[in-house]
Structure formats: C-alpha cells, structure tokens
Amino acid sequence: DGEFIWDSNEITKDVNSVECFIQIIDAAASGTWDMSDNPFTVFQCEESLTADLTGDCFVDIDDFAEFAYQWLDCGNPHDETWCIGQ
C-alpha cells in the first residue's frame, strides 16, 4: 500500500464522467500494476455556485460558517479603519 497525492485540477480540469477508474503502473517493476475496484465520479463544479465559499461544490452550513467568520472583516490591508462606518 502506498500513497501519492497529485493536483487533481491539473489532471481533471476538463473531465466530467461518472465512470472513472485509476490505474497505477510501477515503472520500476515491469508488469506490476493495480486498478481501482470501483468507479468514481469526476466533475467540474458549476461556476454559478458563488455561495460555495469552501470550494466543495455544495452550499451548506460550512459555507455559512466561513461567511460568519469573516463578517465585518476589513479587506484593505493598508488601512484597517477604512471599513469602519462603511
């Protein structure tokens, strides 16, 4: 058993499928390979889902929590008092 973490955005940025499998081949050991047992889904989140603040393609209480956490924070790094009274 091993673990490898890759940037899925680079691999799947233009992929939408409900029948995905991963096949791993060991380049150092000829003929050694494995494939995922069950299919999984890869999809691109709808860009219109602007309230998904956590980036999981689902608007839920976690997004509301992120919104509440930043409530009334000022986004001007040069003048923190700029937002007061706005």
Q: Dihedral (C-alpha) 65, 40, 8, 63: value to the nearest 10 degrees?
A: -10
Tell me the pairing of strands 17-20 and 33-35: unpaired
- Per DSSP, the three-state class of 29 is coil
Instruction: Give the pLDDT confidence of 25-71 residue by residue, as tens digits.
Output: 887 877 888 888 988 888 888 889 999 999 999 999 999 999 999 98
CA angle 14, 10, 21 (to 5 degrees): 70
pLDDT of residue 59: 96
Q: Which residue carries 């219109």 as its tokens? A: 48
Conformation bin of residue 8: beta by default, left when phi > 0, alpha when psi is -120 to 50: alpha
Closest CA to 22 of 34, 13, 4, 31: 34
- Residue 12 banded pLDDT, cuts 50, 70, 90: low
